[in-house]
Structure 1
């Protein structure tokens, strides 16, 4: 089991290394009825912000509702999920009445925790930032916003909340935590080994606990040597993890690799789901999806119960299960990418999502989560070519955008030729929409006599035909799909749904 979850603080008194912030947070909770303000806990990853929020809820006897703000970024979704909880004045299943009105009111609270609140980025998130700002001002329940970067949040949101900074945890505070875990796990240790783990993690308590678990794995005693050989492989980023699970390692080793990456099982599931079709196919893919579905069920239980021990079973499925689905190892290089719905400042991803949102009338969140993965599957490695050209024309994509969606190299001749053909398709569409307005144009000094001879001026062609360039691209997509815009019922079954997204 993941030690970071097994030994997650259950009360604020167990939160280490941020005594001042911890005390201020406890005071915020005790006096919430007096000020009724939301609070922002901000600081580096891995220093205990989310753990402190759940610990406070335990101390206060509050239920919790947790939402990752970067995954649910449209205003309507935030209002539906977080707003429903925040506006509840009383909650079913709350503590029994004590007879003390103030105490009963405190116990009938529900703590709304919005993680990654600094990944809300205003206009492109279709009201997400303004929805949260409105929420914290009107809430009937206490709200905690978790953020790594305080100043990445809007000024209006920052002003509406109290803020508490969590600082990096010092090595001096990390060592006692590691020592206590060793005692509770029955693991012997050298003091120098624990000190080395604490110093190497530079204030990241969660990372230090992960390193301790890695060093203790298969060893009777945690020594400096076992720390050197057993610590998380810091050269293994998320892409190396994807290689390990999807292409190289046996199930047991893949599970160990999942411990070596500083990502939650929830996030790892998204990374694998977003890249698995680049490696697996056929029966392998079907088996792997079964394991991912199982992982998602366990993650659902975590969200429903706030029991993070279930993360272990999600990890078993997403790492060992997906690796076991593979028929042997796979060679070659694969261009992995961040999940399409992943909150990102990447300009290429944002451009594609924004174009889809504008043309299709959906939110950027929907474009990232639903539309782009669909397009990526349908145009994988630019096949079929006609469909890829139509997609590039419909959304005005350049080479880097086509490369992002299809997984093909940006500088390849294939991608460049697709972009050229897409531009030609857009030019053709523009020419067709113009009708004959510019055909056979005459010099200006002949215009009067020309108009006298014509019963209807050719300029009238454009009067009722203000059609966006996208329309012909849609028609081209539908043609590539096996039909036309007017006759969608005759499209090829394999691609019949694609034109709907355009």
Structure 2
């Protein structure tokens, strides 16, 4: 597994949580009998186990790893921990790493949580507790007796650097859409990012980006506009697993080929424009954190009982064929539209100009004065 193959062996090999890592290292370097246990909280895949392994080895400890959620009952927990606690004087360089301590709370745990708190009072060796939960109320007992350090999801810019390193080491090339989706899906989780990337490589569908699409584009667009509430529409939008550019294009295609009144058409195209500007900024600045706002923008398209159906470039072939790269006038038109929509001229030639021509032909919008001649020529074909 890539997540194990590329697990960092040194602190400098880790990414993110610089201050948190420094605090953990300080706890190790100053530990003495009587020092409080260390409590690390944060979502999965951000390095709680890794940093504990690295520093335990660096400071010469033999780390015993246990999973608290596998020993929820008091009797089971005692059977595992008691031998370690009772023999701790004979093993001065032993330490305990107890993962998922947030998994032993609740009525089904039969005293496991309280038993662990009592046992920790007897421990005189370095002890690290780890939890995925950020709920301090739920973890109150452990927070009270521990040195609490919060670790956070890894920022997308650092995930991207790490992913690029792994892909280079593996000799694998993927498209930008695939890369964006991997980063977005992993949500700051390095382990999840590497597992997802490896599974996609193994499925050998990595170059097409089609793996993002759990349901058809048509089903997604039509379900969005048939939603009975904005909450339902948001759920549909979030389930549309596809490249961000493809998602924007899918909505654009459906909107401009549907029988909408001018008010709704104008409103929806304005939203599409804002979504396109956002995506362009993401590509230009490589600030993938902005991707989280894309669905929030597209959700503004929603309005109940609006007759939008998906149609992929449902335009006459002569218009599509005649508008691309044929003469200076057409190139100028493509570049003009591209500037207005914040995209390249070649992208505008395929994704925007054909629809604008169709809208002019249907008399839904007026032709820009500067390009009347070329538009009239294309429309006459």
Scaled by the length of structure 1, what TM-score is found? Answer: 0.39
Counterparts of 2:137 and 2:66, CA distance in 1: 19
Matches within 5 A, 1:421-460: none
Deviation per residue, 1:25-67 (Å, 9 max, x gap): 1111111116521111111122222222222222222212222
Mapped contact 2:43–2:152 kept (Cα < 8 A): yes
Matches within 5 A, 1:39-438: 39-90=38-89, 108-121=92-105, 124-150=108-134, 151=136, 153-190=138-175, 193-217=178-202, 219=204, 225-226=207-208, 228-230=209-211
Mapped contact 1:37–1:137 kept (Cα < 8 A): no
The structure whose RCO (Cα within 8 Å, separation 6+) is larger is 2
Residues 16 and 35 of structure 1: CA distance in aligned 2, closer, same or farther (over 3 Å): farther
Counterparts of 2:78 and 2:45, CA distance in 1: 28
Quote the residue 1:270 is aligned against: none
SS of the equivalent of 2:148 reads: strand
Residues 131 and 215 of structure 1: CA distance in aligned 2, closer, same or farther (over 3 Å): same
Residues 166 and 62 of structure 1: CA distance in aligned 2, closer, same or farther (over 3 Å): same
SS of the equivalent of 2:69 reads: coil
Count of aligned pairs between the two proteins: 214
Quote the residue 2:26 is aligned against: 27
Contiguous gaps of at least 5 residues in structure 1:
93-107, 236-502
Residues 154 and 211 of structure 1: CA distance in aligned 2, closer, same or farther (over 3 Å): closer
Residues 125 and 201 of structure 1: CA distance in aligned 2, closer, same or farther (over 3 Å): closer
Quote the residue 2:3 is aligned against: 4
Residues 8 and 90 of structure 1: CA distance in aligned 2, closer, same or farther (over 3 Å): farther
SS of the equivalent of 2:121 reads: helix
Residues 123 and 188 of structure 1: CA distance in aligned 2, closer, same or farther (over 3 Å): closer
SS of the equivalent of 1:73 reads: coil
Contiguous gaps of at least 5 residues in structure 2:
216-381
Mapped contact 1:136–1:161 kept (Cα < 8 A): no
Structure 1 residue 175, shift from structure 2 partner:
1.0
Counterparts of 1:119 and 1:218, CA distance in 2: 33
Deviation per residue, 1:117-144 (Å, 9 max, x gap): 0122266533211221122222121111
Deviation per residue, 1:363-387 (Å, 9 max, x gap): xxxxxxxxxxxxxxxxxxxxxxxxx
Deviation per residue, 1:293-329 (Å, 9 max, x gap): xxxxxxxxxxxxxxxxxxxxxxxxxxxxxxxxxxxxx
Residues 122 and 173 of structure 1: CA distance in aligned 2, closer, same or farther (over 3 Å): same
Mapped contact 2:68–2:99 kept (Cα < 8 A): yes
Quote the residue 1:264 is aligned against: none
Structure 1 residue 190, shift from structure 2 partner:
4.8
Counterparts of 2:60 and 2:6, CA distance in 1: 20
Counterparts of 2:67 and 2:123, CA distance in 1: 18
Scaled by the length of structure 2, what TM-score is found? Answer: 0.50
Counterparts of 1:79 and 1:111, CA distance in 2: 17
Mapped contact 1:67–1:82 kept (Cα < 8 A): no
Counterparts of 1:195 and 1:60, CA distance in 2: 38
Residues 190 and 58 of structure 1: CA distance in aligned 2, closer, same or farther (over 3 Å): farther
Counterparts of 1:69 and 1:54, CA distance in 2: 17
SS of the equivalent of 2:63 reads: strand
Structure 1 residue 69, shift from structure 2 partner:
0.9
Deviation per residue, 1:98-124 (Å, 9 max, x gap): xxxxxxxxxx42221211101222665
Mapped contact 2:39–2:142 kept (Cα < 8 A): no
Counterparts of 2:172 and 2:89, CA distance in 1: 46
SS of the equivalent of 1:187 reads: coil
Residues 75 and 20 of structure 1: CA distance in aligned 2, closer, same or farther (over 3 Å): same
Counterparts of 2:103 and 2:146, CA distance in 1: 17
